[in-house]
Amino acid sequence: MSAPPGPPAIPAAELLIAGAFAVDLARPLAGAGGGVPAFAVADRRSGRRDLMALAVPPGLPARARALIGLVTPIDGLLTPVAHGPGPLAGGHPGERTSYVVCTAPPGPSLAAAPTAWPEGALLDHVLRPVARVLQVLGERGLTHRAIRPDNVFRAAPGQPVVLGAAWATPPALHQPAANEPPYVAMCLPAGRGDGSIADDIYALGVLLLTLSAGAPPLAGLDPAGVIRRKLELGSFEALAGETRLPALLADLLRGMLAEDPEHRPPPALLADPAAARARRVAARPPRRAQHPLRVGPIGVSGARALAHAIAGAPEAGLRALRTGAVDLWLRRDLGDTTLSMRLEETLRLRATDRGGEDSRAEALLLVRAVATLDPLAPVCWPGATVWPDGLGTALAAAQGEGAGRLHSGAEPAANQGGAANQGGAADPAAADPVRRLVSLVQAEAIAAWADARTARADPLAHRAEARQWRAWLQIQGPAGGVRRLVYALNPLLPCASPRLAGRAVAVLATLPAALNAVASPTPPAGDGPIDADTMAFIAARQEAGGSPGTDPGAGAERDPTQGSVPPLVQMEVLARLQARFHPAPLPGLARWLAAVAQPLTADWHNNGRRAEVVAQLTAAAEAGLIAPMLALLRDPSRRLDDERGFLAARLDVTRIDAALAAVETGGPDRAALARQWGQELAAGLGIAALAAVLGMAALG
C-alpha cells in the first residue's frame, strides 16, 4: 500500500507561516493592509482563502498584546490568526521581515469611493457595528488605533462596515493628525502608544464627520496647523467648521470629539445614539485671552495652545517662562491665577534640580511646564514627544534612522557607566533620535511628567517604570545598555544583529536554528555568532520569559580589539539555548563556535594534549552539540594535568640550567667539580677493565 501523498510543494513565490498559512508574495492586495503591504494567503489545513498577510515594516515590532488578546476573533474586525518570519517582498536577497496573517477585507475601503453618507446609514452601518467592536476590544484591554477611511471596509452598499487590521505596526503609526486628538497627533508617529478606547472613539467621530461631509476635514493644513487649530478652537469646531450636520449627528460628534477623553461616551453607550446624545457631558469652555502671547513665531490664546507652542519651540518657550512673560500673561490676559501659581511651583523645582544650568534640568523643566499647562499632554522632551507606552516603539523606529542605528557599532553613551547626558551633556535636541530618547530615560522624565499631572497619572507606578528603564541602560557588558532597553520594551522586535544576515528572529526559540542556517561551511576565526545585539536580545527575552540567568554574560566585557563577546561566553549561552529549544544537532553553528574558540587551545602546554583537545573539539563540532565543546574547553581536570606537567617540566629545566651555570663558572668550585667527575670516570673505567680480565680468565 503506497504512502499517502504529502502536502503540495510551496511555490517559489510563497512562504509558509506557522506551518499552515501559505503566503503568495506574487499576489499583493492593493489597499487592504491599512498602510502596509498585504498579500493573499491560503490555509493549507482548512482551505480558507479569505486571509491575507501583512508585512511588518523592517525594524519595527508587531503589536504583541493585540496578537495575544485577539486569539478569539471579533465580528466586524480583521483579526490576526498567526504570525511569523519570511522574506521581505521587494527587498534584497536574504532580507527578511515578520508577517501577520489575518482575515482579509470583505470589499473595498471607504476611501475607495468617497461620497456623502446619509445620517441613517452612518448610524446603522458605521456607528453601531464599530461601537460593538470597540466594546469587545475594551473588555479585553486592547485598542484599535487605526480607524480612518482607508482602513474601514464593507462588502457592499447597505452592509455594515468592518474595521481593518492594525496589528503589524506600532499603534496609530499611520493616523493623520486630523484623526487623532491633539495630545496624540503631536507625538512621534511611532511613539503614540496604545492609548485608550476613548482615543478610538475620537477617531470614529472623525470618520463619521468625514463620511457625512464626503471629504476629510482640514485637508489643506499640515499636521502642525491641524494641531494648533484644534487647540485654539476645540476639536469639534476645528473639524466641523462650516459643515452642515444633522442635529443628532452633530450632538454625538460633540461628545465623541470632546477634548477630555473622560468626557467621551463609552462604546456601549454609542450602541444607542439617542441615549448617547442625551448623556453628553457639557464641558466648560476653555479660557481664551484677548491678547495672544507670542512664543517664537506662534501666537497663542489658551493654556493648551501655549503648552504645545513651548513643546515645539523649547528654547523660546523656556525663555518666556524664565523671564516671567508667561506668568504675567496667565494672570493678566488669561485670568488664571491658579494655573499661574502651579507653574510658579514648577519653576521653583527647576532651581532644586542638580547641575545648575545644565541642559538636563532645562529639559525636565520643559516636561513639567508643559504637563502643568496641559495635563492632557504627553511627555514633551526636547526633540522627542512620546507617550510612556510608546517609548519602546519610538526607540525601535529611531534605530533605523541612519546615525542612530545601534548595531552600526556606535554605542550611545548610556552603556558607558550610565553617566552620560547627566549634567553638562550636550543638548539632547541636537543629538540623533536614539540619543534624544536615551537622555529622556536617563533623566527619568516620565516620573517628572507624572508628578506634574497627579490627577491623571500614577506617579509611583511611573517612577518605578522609569527606574526600571534606567536600570536596563546601566547594565554593564554586552547584555545591557540601549539594546537591552529596546528589546525589553518591544517583545516582538526582531534581533537586529548583522550576524543573522537579515533573518527576522523575534523569539528565542528560533535563534539557534537561524544562526545555524547562516553559518558558513568553513567559518573563519574571529568574531563569533553572538555579538552585543544578540546578547542583549537573549537577555531581554529570557527576562520576559522568567527564565533563570536573565543576564547571560552580564559581567563579560567585550574584546576591546574586536568588539566581540568572549568565545566561552558565546559557547555557554548557545549551549543553554540548544538544550532548551533545539536539542537536535546544529553542526553549522557548532563549527562556527569551534573556529572562534580555536585560539583558546593555544595556551595548552603539552603538544600531545593540545592536539587531542583540538581533535575532540572538531569532532564535537561535527556532531553539532555545543555543550560537549564547552565542557571540553572548561574541563578542570585536563587543565590541572596540563598545568602540573608544565610545572614539572619547568622545574627540570630549572635544575639543568642551574647545573650548566655552575659548570660555566670558574674558580675552586669548578675545579672541585672537575676532580669529582674525573674520579668518578676513572673509577668507572677501572671497574670496567677488571670485569674484562675476569671474563677472559673464566673463558680461558
* Segment 144-190, tens digit of pLDDT: 999 999 999 999 999 999 999 999 999 999 999 999 999 999 999 99
- Please give the pLDDT value at position 296: 87
Percentage of residues in the chain with pLDDT exceeding 70? 78
Share of the chain above pLDDT 90, in %: 62
Q: What single DSSP character describes residue 77?
A: B
Does 546 have pLDDT greater than 80?
Answer: no
**3-class SS at 41?**
strand
- Confidence label for 305 from pLDDT (cuts 50, 70 and 90): very high
Domains annotated on the chain, with CATH: 14-103 (3.30.200), 495-633 (no CATH)
**To which residue does cell 512621534 refer?**
188
- Contact, 456 vs 439, CB < 8 A? no
443 closest CA partner among 387, 516, 374, 362: 362
> Where do the H-state alpha helices sit in 323-454?
325-332, 337-352, 359-373, 391-399, 433-442, 445-451
How many H-runs (helices) and E-runs (strands) does the chain carry? 28, 12
Per-residue pLDDT at 691:
52
Give residue-wise pLDDT tens across range 660-671: 666 566 555 555
User: 584-594, pLDDT tens digit by residue?
Assistant: 999 999 999 99
Least confident of 238-252, 289-303, 379-393, 679-693: 679-693
Q: Which residues pair with 17 in a beta bridge?
A: 21
* Phi and psi angles of residue 17, each rounded to the nearest 5 degrees, phi first: -105, 130
d(CA 156, CA 222): 33
pLDDT at 283 over 90: no
Question: What does the block give as the cell for 429?
Answer: 535636541
DSSP 8-state assignment for residue 123: I
Phi, psi of 133 (to 5 degrees): -65, -45
Rounded to an integer, the average pLDDT of 7-29 is 78
Q: Note the pLDDT of residue 410.
A: 39
Question: Is the pLDDT reported for residue 238 higher than 50?
Answer: yes
Q: Which of 365-369, 371-375, 517-521 has the lowest mean pLDDT?
A: 517-521
What band does 232 get if pLDDT is binned at 50, 70 and 90? Answer: very high
SS3 14: strand
Residue 194 and residue 143 in contact, taking contact as beta carbons nearer than 8 Å: yes
686: confidence class by pLDDT, cuts 50, 70, 90:
low
- How does pLDDT run across 96-121, given as a tens digit for each residue? 889 999 999 999 999 998 999 999 99
Position 244 scores a pLDDT of: 92
The better pLDDT of the pair 697, 453 is held by: 453
pLDDT-derived band of residue 419, with 50, 70 and 90 as boundaries?
very low
Per residue in 590-630, pLDDT (tens digit) is 999 998 888 776 666 556 677 777 788 889 999 999 999 89
- C-beta separation of 201 from 267 below 8 A: yes
Per-residue pLDDT tens over the stretch 379-388: 999 999 999 9
The Cα-based distances of 686 to 181, 583, 678 in angstroms read 116, 75, 12
* pLDDT, position 3: 38
State the pLDDT at residue 672. 62
CB 150 within 8 A of CB 130: no
Query: Under a CB-based contact definition with an 8 Å cutoff, are residues 238 and 260 in contact?
Result: no
Q: Please give the average per-residue pLDDT across 220-225, as a whole number.
A: 94
With left for phi above 0 and alpha for psi between -120 and 50, is residue 9 left, alpha or beta? beta
pLDDT score of 549 more than 90:
no
**Alpha carbons 30 and 262: distance in angstroms, whole number:** 37
Measure the CA–CA gap between 116 and 135, rounded to whole angstroms.
Answer: 27
pLDDT score for 397: 95
- Round to whole Å and give the CA distance between 104 and 153: 10
Q: What is the mean pLDDT of the chain?
A: 84
pLDDT tops 50 at residue 8: no
